[in-house]
Amino acid sequence: MPKKFVISNHIRRLRFFANEMTQQELAEKAGVSRQTIIAIEAGKYSPSLEMAFRIADAFGVTIGEVFECAVEEGAKK
């Protein structure tokens, strides 16, 4: 059975600790649209590696502190 990778993120928490950074501010820092930040934060879109690095860079943290991956064994494809 193939493994299923569920990607989650801590963007909301990181925004809070970054002096309640707005989604617009984060979007501008990462060079993406606010719509994309909203979708990523809500778990509706998984960004590319490059975008993930840019978001992490906007917070000044590593990519592992922004995104997390849980593996579900034996998930249906």
Partner 1 sequence: MSYQEKRTIVMMLTGALVLAAYCIYAFGQVNAGVVSLGDLRFWARTILAFIGIGIVATIVIQIIFHILLSVGIVVTKTIRDGKVVDEDIEKSVEAEMVEDEMDKLIELKANRVGVALGGCGFVAGLFAVLLGYPAAVMLNIVFIAFSLGMIVEGFVQLYYYRRGVRHA
Nearer to partner 1, 4 or 13 (CB): 4
Q: Of 26, 27, 56, 58, which one interacts with partner 1 (CB under 8 A)?
A: 27
CA 65 to chain centroid, in Å, comes to 9
Nearer to partner 1, 5 or 17 (CB): 5
Site for partner 1 in 47-76 (CB under 8 A): 47-48, 51
CA 3 to chain centroid, in Å, comes to 21
If one asks whether residue 33 binds partner 1 (CB under 8 A), the answer comes out as yes
Structural tokens at position 9: 């993120």
